[in-house]
Amino acid sequence: MFEVKGATFAINGKPLLQPIEHTFQQGKVYGLIGHNGSGKSTLIKLLAQQQPISQGDIHFDQRPLNAWGSREFARQVAYLPQHLPSAENLTGRELVAFGRYPWHGLLGRHNQKDTDAIERAIALTHTEAFADRLVDTLSGGERQRVWLAMLLAQGSRFLLLDEPLAALDIAHQMEVLALIRKLCDELDLGVIIVLHDINMASRYCDELMALHSGRLLAHGPPRDMMCNSTLEAIYGLPMQVMKHPKGDHHIAVAQ
């Protein structure tokens, strides 16, 4: 679905992202990992049409990214930024309804198909109990689920999520990641997500991509990436990897 072909990004001649080659397929969860400033958010913004490519190319569905109109692209790809816009005075249901914008614009009237998409998104994210409360009154986990519902109402095939777990406690992090994993499997979505917790990434992602100083340092399934030498190269710390005592995934701890 997404083909990244030597894509780079630079500001005033300073490279923030070195040439990257990679393909992202529908039906998988891809975790972008690495230090702050490694290029994770830069890459996801390029994929989301949020900033222009300096060199190289990115194709979506075999078309160059710049050949897609913004609303046409939004019907296929939904983006959740790291810093969420204000949802002041909006209920959860009203926020979810904004997901239908790519189909009608801001002034377009909703039809039955739109209403069905909104209610389905609320049901899929189990947000019915607080859909009519103001977003600002919700807990962090509830708020993130409502934003995910908005993306689902958009009807897109790919979700691009830039640090959706920021400021969530560990219980809400697991709740949101488990939901993302479930939605990917049930709806055949492609998901690209920026994560800081390597153990969460190992548990919920199909493939990990490690960036370091703007370069794609390593990538592969978690079973291949979760090894001492690879993690030490990524994070610059001695790491000890072990099998989770109650699961089939691996966890890492800094030594």
Give the domain CATH number at 50: 3.40.50.300
CA distance 18 to 194: 18
3 within domain boundaries: yes
Helix, strand, coil share (%) of the chain residues, nearest 5: 40, 30, 35
CA distance 84 to 127: 19
Mean of per-residue pLDDT scores for the chain: 91
Beta bridge partners of 216: 211
Residues 127, 92: contact at Cβ < 8 Å?
A: yes
Beta bridge partners of 253: 240
202 within domain boundaries: yes
CA distance 133 to 90: 8
Token pair, residue 45, equals: 């913004």
50 within domain boundaries: yes
85 within domain boundaries: no
107 within domain boundaries: no
101 within domain boundaries: no
pLDDT value, residue 243:
83
pLDDT classification of 132: cutoffs 50, 70, 90: very high
Residues 135, 87: contact at Cβ < 8 Å?
A: yes
1 within domain boundaries: yes
pTM over 0.85: yes
Q: Give me the percent of the chain exceeding a pLDDT of 90.
A: 68
- Please give the residue range of the domain that contains residue 72: 1-76+197-255
11 within domain boundaries: yes
Question: In total, how many domains does the chain have?
Answer: 1
